[in-house]
Structure 1
Amino acid sequence: MELSDSPAPRAAPMIDGAQVRPIDHLLLRGDPERPALDGRSGTQSYAELEATLGRLAAWLAGFGLEKGARVASWVAKGPVAALMPLAAPRAGLVHVPVNPLLKHAQVAHILADSGASLLIGTASRLATLAPGDVPERCDLHREDDAACAMSGGEALAPSHAAPDELAAILYTSGSTGRPKGVMLSHANLWLGAVSVAEYLKLAAKDRTLCLLPFSFDYGQNQLFSTWFSGGCACPLDYLTPRDVVKAVDRWDITTLAGVPPLWVQLTELDWPADVAAKLRRLTNSGGALTRPLAAKLRALFARADLYPMYGLTEAFRSTYLPPALVDSHPDSMGSAIPHAEILVVRPDGSVAGDDEAGELVHCGPLVAKGYWRDPARTAERFRPAPAASRYGGMAVWSGDTVRRDARGLLYFVGRDDAMIKSAGNRISPTEVEEAAVAVEGIGEAVALGVRDDRLGQAVLLLLRGASPELKAQVEARLRQELPNFMQPREIVMLSEFPRNPNGKIDRVALAKEFAA
């Protein structure tokens, strides 16, 4: 075990024009005296957090696990959770973050599938595990033990990992079957931080409120892109949306990342004008912003730039829409982020023309290494890049249908497996949903295809928080805006929508309940 205060000098390799270092070198970029981590556990400077990281890595290395062994964490959102993505790779291990919202059976699947040798969890979470949930060769340790190790002792020096070495396995939410472990290399994680920090224009003065789970690639990148830019990350496990308002005020937050359901909740609150004015940057992924929701965000946070984004764990992030285009092109996904190449491809593999629908294919160094121990599903999603790709190699074929306009902006059409096929027509659920939420007072909408003996499938529209009066307004608007074949057979009002562990609407659960 190499113990040191500083890394041995080594030239960083260049990938796609950027220097790429092992992901555990991230904190070495920041000003040692500036704050790197803040929140309920106190403030640590970059120098202090780097030392803490080294001690946590040394503790992990002390278990004597073989290089590349998987280490899972199921912990509260604090210093241990924030540093595990760096500490495990520094110790030559692969980090497997587990969403704190998961239950014991889902955790058991992740432990077994990843072959985890170690699970670090809070005492209360570990106590929920049933006999048989933990693999025979997986040891359990409390989060308190890790926190204690971080408080003193020797530190492990920064690693010399190669860019393509495996650093993390992130499990998808399992919305389309059992969760899949997406394998991410040091280069995947490092270039993701480089890319986001660049297009968000993050700087050392920025302070990011980390609300999203660190088991979520979007959530983990909150840390990485902030630290790459020398800024301060503020993790928060919040109970109510009002906690977010208080945290923005208390910690002078400039940057906030969220998913549409969270933005809906936040826009329903009364924000003091001086608190809303602290925010300079809002980012959205995990689902498209509707026009009404984007307009509410722009009005409520008038001093903040709004960045709609699209991505998938297998390729991290694909596109973003610059804030200057949000008002003029509110329905656009934008264009490729730095270090990503996005192609719109016909079924024969050729590139689609302007305004022609095709499959979104993601190429370049942000493409993950495939699914952990799942060659069959890897072969379905990770396939050779189209001939037109400037990168070549393996690409992620997303399954999402998009179109590209003449200026290169992309527009989402729908997922092929989510399209509603009715009387020979292909209906995008997104188009029906956006028409519904354009009615003031409609919080969220989900359109599903349900069996119909005459049509094959009919449209069922679910609305959250709608009164009978609003339902009538939605029906009137849909008649006005959508063709006859897209009209819902039925509209159902619900007080709440089920959520998956990442806060997104659980469409699979709704489909099981209403579309069976």
Structure 2
Amino acid sequence: MTLLHHLLDRSARQSPRKEAVRYRGEAVSYVALQDLSMRTAAGLQALDVIRGDRVVIFLPNRPEVVEIALACSRIGAIFIPVSPMLRSRQLTHILRDSGATTLVVSDSLLPYALPSIEDSPALLNVVLVEAKQAPRNIRSQIRHLRIEELRSYQPLPSKAIAIDRDLAAILYTSGSTGPAKGVMISHHNLVSGAVCVSEYLENTAEDRLLAALPLSFDYGLSQITTAFHVGACATLTNYSMPAAIVQEAAAEKITGLAGVPTMWAYLAAAEWPAVARDSLRYITNSGGALTQTLIRSLRTRLPSARLYCMYGLTEAFRSTYLDPEEIDRRRGSIGKAIPNQEILLVRPDGSRCEPGETGELVHRGSLVARGYWNNAEATAKRFRPVPAWVSTATAGEMAVWSGDLARTDADGYLYFVARADQLIKTSGYRVSSTEIEDIVSEVDGVIENVALGVADELLGQKIVVAVAGSVSGAEALIERIRRHCRLHLPPYMAPADIHVLEELPRNANGKPDRPALAKWIESSRTDYVSRQA
């Protein structure tokens, strides 16, 4: 049995003084991080956090995220990393939906969190990171303290409180409808993912991985678990400007860097010093496909780095990867299943697809999550039994039915075709069109609206909203929508373009005709005003 914190403990035994995590030029060794997480675990227990309790971590990428996650693992609690870009509405939903008893938040993010704290009745504790002064306006029933107070306890002795099938984390991800759903991730999922990924990336203790993607993103969190599995060093940073990432890669002599298409588009245009180019052994992409132009640019800019194009979803973490040697021969392919996982293509009637035939991508294996927290209906739709034709031995086994359409060539290489739902994938994030529409509908003057994802070379898809409203007051309406979205949506969910029409086109069922709108929008200019589509 291996739990999340066992990855750290094993490396602490083997290489206690080796750097585990670096942040802003400072390092924490494996043995120091082990001691810190054991003290913090004791501190959480002193706050009455017990096995199965949920702890929300509302922080940017910094060592405290890793520390709290490991501490939760030691006491059987469940950590929930949350993107610092979220606003109070999204944070409130996560706190209330998860029933979290504890929130860890930085002093700089506390103003965004205060409304959520007041609206979350299950919340009992607020732990502050980098607190400059005692917080105000927190209701008296909630205990609030600085993280240094958690660390003041004697280290919690190592003993098995959970088993590997227990939940380690809940990762909130947007679906095609409604607010974000919490994907339930077990210790077995996390550890198995680290083993599978490190195998095909050939990670070793000599690697230095740059974790620039949010740790609230399964792809970002994987940089930590993979590093700990092999005893490597993970450097934490927060992606902002391309030049900062390049400088970090050079200063830290990074050997592995994970990114999403938007990030790679900027990095491909950046100037990379020789020390950064020479140390970089591989780069990986997920969260959307790279264009052939961008692939060529990256390979020209970083000739020594092997490029791994991958496909995954939070419900199963990572599904496929394309061997870098096959990029030229298999243009546009997402590769084959990663080690110890199986990818199936299934027809609508449940039968097996033949090569060249498009079907739904189904993932089976140790990375399949436990379903959605507090949402049996959504779980039943996405997590369904493995098709009977696979083997009689798989009876009762659950697989992830992705909703994505794909096909294979004659050699079994997979090619992504389309999404079967209305999910928007932008800048590596999965965004719910319904969630955007709900926010836009609150603006005075909006009669009806539809949010769409439109192809964009930089973002993958950009978010465009078509609004039914008064065309004569369109400019003012657009400005009201933008202000409202800036206040209530994270930046990556805010509309890039807004179109105002007298009324939206409709299909035969009387619903807004999304395909017709998408076709019209692609030929229109930014913030377009029109009387018809």
Distance (whole Å) between structure 1 residues aligned to residue 178 and residue 159 of structure 2: 36
Q: Which residue identity does 1:229 align to in structure 2?
A: V
> Do 1:194 and 1:225's aligned partners in 2 also have CA atoms closer than 8 Å?
yes
The answer as to 2:144 corresponding to 1:143 is no
The answer as to 2:116 corresponding to 1:115 is no
Q: Rate the CA distance shift 1:400–1:238 in 2: closer, same or farther, 3 A.
A: closer
Distance (whole Å) between structure 1 residues aligned to residue 250 and residue 9 of structure 2: 29
Distance (whole Å) between structure 1 residues aligned to residue 157 and residue 222 of structure 2: 23
The answer as to 2:517 corresponding to 1:491 is no
> Do 1:340 and 1:365's aligned partners in 2 also have CA atoms closer than 8 Å?
yes
Query: What's the CA shift string for 1:238-273, capped at 9, x where partnerless?
Result: 431211011011111111111111111111222223
Worse-superposed segment, 223-232 or 142-151: 142-151
Distance (whole Å) between structure 2 residues aligned to residue 109 and residue 57 of structure 1: 26
> Do 1:447 and 1:459's aligned partners in 2 also have CA atoms closer than 8 Å?
no
> Do 2:261 and 2:286's aligned partners in 1 also have CA atoms closer than 8 Å?
yes
> Do 1:452 and 1:458's aligned partners in 2 also have CA atoms closer than 8 Å?
no
Q: Which residue identity does 1:400 align to in structure 2?
A: D
> Do 2:310 and 2:320's aligned partners in 1 also have CA atoms closer than 8 Å?
yes
The answer as to 2:395 corresponding to 1:414 is no
1:352 Cα offset (Å): 0.5
| Equivalent residue number for residue 154 of structure 2 | 154
1:194 Cα offset (Å): 0.6
1:62-461 to structure 2, matched below 5 A, reads: 62-128=46-112, 129-130=114-115, 132-144=118-130, 147-149=147-149, 153-160=153-160, 161-173=162-174, 176-390=177-391, 391-392=394-395, 393-418=397-422, 433=455, 437=457
Distance (whole Å) between structure 2 residues aligned to residue 449 and residue 356 of structure 1: 33
Distance (whole Å) between structure 1 residues aligned to residue 507 and residue 54 of structure 2: 52
1:150 Cα offset (Å): 6.8
| Equivalent residue number for residue 27 of structure 2 | 43
Q: Please, what is the CA RMSD of the aligned residues?
A: 3.0
- TM score, norm. by length of structure 2: 0.76
| Equivalent residue number for residue 499 of structure 2 | none
Query: What's the CA shift string for 1:301-348, capped at 9, x where partnerless?
Result: 110011111111111111111111112212001011122111000112
Q: Which residue identity does 1:410 align to in structure 2?
A: L
The answer as to 2:9 corresponding to 1:28 is yes
Distance (whole Å) between structure 1 residues aligned to residue 256 and residue 242 of structure 2: 16
Distance (whole Å) between structure 1 residues aligned to residue 175 and residue 107 of structure 2: 26
Distance (whole Å) between structure 2 residues aligned to residue 333 and residue 88 of structure 1: 35
Distance (whole Å) between structure 2 residues aligned to residue 107 and residue 395 of structure 1: 29
Distance (whole Å) between structure 2 residues aligned to residue 338 and residue 493 of structure 1: 45
Q: Which residue identity does 2:240 align to in structure 1?
A: L
Q: Rate the CA distance shift 1:87–1:457 in 2: closer, same or farther, 3 A.
A: closer
5+ long unaligned stretches in structure 1: 1-11, 13-20, 421-428, 462-486, 496-509
1:164 Cα offset (Å): 0.8
Q: Which residue identity does 2:63 align to in structure 1?
A: P
- TM score, norm. by length of structure 1: 0.79
Aligned residues: 441
1:225 Cα offset (Å): 0.6
1:133 Cα offset (Å): 2.8
Q: Rate the CA distance shift 1:490–1:196 in 2: closer, same or farther, 3 A.
A: closer
Q: Rate the CA distance shift 1:405–1:75 in 2: closer, same or farther, 3 A.
A: same
Distance (whole Å) between structure 1 residues aligned to residue 109 and residue 422 of structure 2: 35
Q: What is the DSSP-based 3-state SS (H/G/I as helix, E as strand, rest coil) of the residue aligned with 2:80?
A: strand
Q: Which residue identity does 1:157 align to in structure 2?
A: P
Distance (whole Å) between structure 2 residues aligned to residue 137 and residue 79 of structure 1: 23
Q: Rate the CA distance shift 1:55–1:454 in 2: closer, same or farther, 3 A.
A: closer
Q: What is the DSSP-based 3-state SS (H/G/I as helix, E as strand, rest coil) of the residue aligned with 2:126?
A: strand
